[in-house]
Structure 1
Amino acid sequence: METALTRLVGVRHPIVQTGMGWVAGPRLVSATANAGALGILASATMSVDRLREAVREVRSRTDAPFGVNLRADAADAGDRVRVIVEEGVRVASFALAPSPGLIAELKEAGVVVISTVGARRHAEKVAAWGADAVIVQGGEGGGHTGEVATTVLLPQVVDAVRIPVVAAGGFFDGRGLVAALAYGAAGVAMGTRFLLTSDSTVPDAVKARYLAATVRDVTVTTAVDGLPHRMLRTDLVESLENATRARALVQAVRRAAAFRKLSGLTWRRMLQDGRALKHGKDLTWSQVLLAANTPMLLRASMVDGRTDLGVMASGQVAGVIEDLPSCAELVERILAEAGEAVAALTATTATTTTTTS
């Protein structure tokens, strides 16, 4: 299935596996790439040296194109961009809008720049700055999310920009892919669906919690870091929502120290990232510090398997996913379902035309 996305990044199928922290590691990314989709390596939870190692590990497992996701506002973003360029990574993906200078540096090196957006004006901005494509995430998506549903946000962005648009938030099967293409998108991006594959390194006990969830078990909370965050509702989430500010702050300091040691960041760098996070958002410094909770709370679940101590970012689609296929099986299934959906639409159109004539 060829689209503007497949032509842009060189993959066979218009499907993207998003860069989920602690989840989108070398094994998942390479499995996705070998299945013909675009796998994106999550770098925000890695040190710069570990990022280079991870890129080389992916390269050892696949010859197919893949990408790296990074925070544009991170103090060491320039170092990470150099790794991407030096290691010949095909795609640089950003959760926040990269600066015009960063986009220019990457494009000059032949790297495709894709920025994730949650509003039409953000898409227009990064397109004007030179981004090659945008991923549009509606409110159904997991992790940090907005309030506008994909079915409303997607056509707005498609009409506003002249670069490939990838739809995210609420996609998990071939019918969704066909619907996104009908809206004018060039493909779909999925996080939770790829998390729930046999190639994902997320512990089995955590995957079981996702599979057992209903749509009503997925909630949006600001208790973790002060920003709207979609995740599975658990006893821990409820305790965070009910915790006093002082208690939450003490816990945040401890987890910030643990993340600093794990990531290799200095306190100075973490404070610089905190300032960048605070900029343009209605957050207090206490909330910025609470944001240091997020990497360690996610790691507790996604790496250590402690669903009692960690949070589980999740799209609403967790409530309708029931199995753990391999990435190859998943991509093959989505394409088959898409073909069936198109055939059904064609048959319906033909029947309607015959009847009316």
Structure 2
Amino acid sequence: MKTKITELLDIKYPIIQGGMAWVAEHNLAAAVSNAGGLGLIGAANAPYEVVKDEIEKAKAATDKPFGVNIMLLSPHAESIAKLVVEEGVKVVTTGAGSPEKYMKMWKEAGIKVIPVLASVALARRMERAGADAVVAEGCESGGHIGESTTMALVPQIADVVKIPVIAAGGIADGRGLLAALSLGAQAVQVGTRFVASKEAVVHEAYKNRLISAKDIDTVVTGRSHGHPVRCLRNNMTREYARLESEGKSFEELEYLTLGALRKAVQEGDVVNGTVMAGQISGMIAQVQTCSEIIENMVAQAQKLAGSAMQWF
């Protein structure tokens, strides 16, 4: 499956793993890269030394390209921006802000820069700033989201930028991959499906919660303060909704969720922790290796593409 993204990033398949906080560490990144996709290490709020160690471990685990996702609101963002240059990282994806201040440094180092965004205006801005591609992320995604759906957002961005577009949100199998390519994307970014992989260093309770989830089990919190987050319903989301309905401040609501994602991912508290997950959770029936996930996704997309040609 050759596309502009597979050529740009020197990967076998047009599948990128999302840079999920507390989930996207070196084991998962290396497994996805070894399987022919592009694995990402999610820097999140981690300091320089922690991310450096993750990068070095990923290098030891794969000789394939991998990247780092940098959350630009992190207090460590500037040091991580320099670290990826020092370590010779091939690809950087960014979220929660604009990477423009680092663009010159990254481009001079030969790094491919791919911002994650949720609007046409931001896509145009990132193209002007020198981005190599953009991830158009629909609100079906888990974690922090925008307002537009993937189906609506991807073609609108693909219509106005010349750089490749990567679709994210609501993609779990070959049907989603083929649909994204049909919408004008050159690759997909997959998050939630890779959480339920054997290589993901995530508590079994978190993975089991994904497997047991139904189509209606995700909820979006934080809309009242402009910081919507999609996760699976539990005691924490119900309490958050109650406080939100009472008009509590953003700071009070943030205090409720402080450390809640780590609690779910590492400790397995899926009742009181934040179980970030996309709407595709209801499609996940089993834990598989990253290789199985990718191979099945590609095989299904290719089979469907062949069938579709018979319709015309």
TM-score range, shorter chain: over 0.9
- Give the Cα separation in 2 of the matches to 1:165 and 1:84: 23
- Tell me which amino acid in the other structure corresponds to 2:86: E
- Give the Cα separation in 1 of the matches to 2:257 and 2:34: 31
Q: Can you list the C-alpha shifts for 1:178-230, whole angstroms capped at 9, x where unaligned? A: 11111111011010011111111111111111111111111111189861111
- Give the Cα separation in 1 of the matches to 2:11 and 2:124: 25
Higher mean displacement: 218-227 or 196-205: 218-227
Partner of 1:329 in structure 2?
A: 292
Partner of 1:130 in structure 2?
A: 130
- Give the Cα separation in 2 of the matches to 1:33 and 1:292: 36
Q: Which has the larger radius of gyration?
A: 1
Preserved contact between residue 22 and residue 45 of structure 1 (Cα < 8 Å): no
Structure number having the greater helix percentage: 1
Partner of 2:301 in structure 1?
A: 338
Partner of 1:5 in structure 2?
A: 5
Runs (5+) with no aligned partner, structure 2: none
How far residue 10 of structure 1 moved from its aligned partner, in angstroms, is 1.1
How far residue 290 of structure 1 moved from its aligned partner, in angstroms, is 4.3
- Tell me which amino acid in the other structure corresponds to 1:165: V
Q: 1:289 to 1:42 in 2, by over 3 A?
A: farther
Partner of 1:208 in structure 2?
A: 208
1:188 aligned counterpart, secondary structure: strand
Preserved contact between residue 224 and residue 294 of structure 1 (Cα < 8 Å): no
Runs (5+) with no aligned partner, structure 1: 249-285, 350-357
Correspondence list, 1:141-290, <5 A: 141-222=141-222, 227-243=227-243, 286-288=249-251, 290=253
> What RMSD over aligned residues (CA atoms) do the two structures have, in Å?
2.0
Preserved contact between residue 206 and residue 302 of structure 1 (Cα < 8 Å): yes
- Give the Cα separation in 2 of the matches to 1:33 and 1:108: 24
TM-score for both structures, normalised by structure 1: 0.83
- Give the Cα separation in 1 of the matches to 2:187 and 2:66: 15
- Tell me which amino acid in the other structure corresponds to 2:303: E
1:215 aligned counterpart, secondary structure: coil
1:348 aligned counterpart, secondary structure: coil
- Give the Cα separation in 2 of the matches to 1:7 and 1:236: 43
How far residue 96 of structure 1 moved from its aligned partner, in angstroms, is 2.9
Preserved contact between residue 222 and residue 229 of structure 2 (Cα < 8 Å): yes
Preserved contact between residue 235 and residue 272 of structure 2 (Cα < 8 Å): no
Identity of matched residues, %: 35
- Give the Cα separation in 1 of the matches to 2:159 and 2:73: 28
TM-score for both structures, normalised by structure 2: 0.95
Runs of 4+ in structure 1 displaced over 4 angstroms?
A: 223-226, 292-295
How far residue 146 of structure 1 moved from its aligned partner, in angstroms, is 1.7
Preserved contact between residue 154 and residue 167 of structure 2 (Cα < 8 Å): yes
2:72 aligned counterpart, secondary structure: coil
- Give the Cα separation in 1 of the matches to 2:109 and 2:209: 42
Preserved contact between residue 218 and residue 319 of structure 1 (Cα < 8 Å): no
- Give the Cα separation in 1 of the matches to 2:310 and 2:144: 40
How far residue 288 of structure 1 moved from its aligned partner, in angstroms, is 4.8
- Tell me which amino acid in the other structure corresponds to 2:34: N
Partner of 1:320 in structure 2?
A: 283
Q: 1:288 to 1:159 in 2, by over 3 A?
A: farther
Partner of 2:20 in structure 1?
A: 20
Partner of 1:307 in structure 2?
A: 270
- Tell me which amino acid in the other structure corresponds to 1:10: D
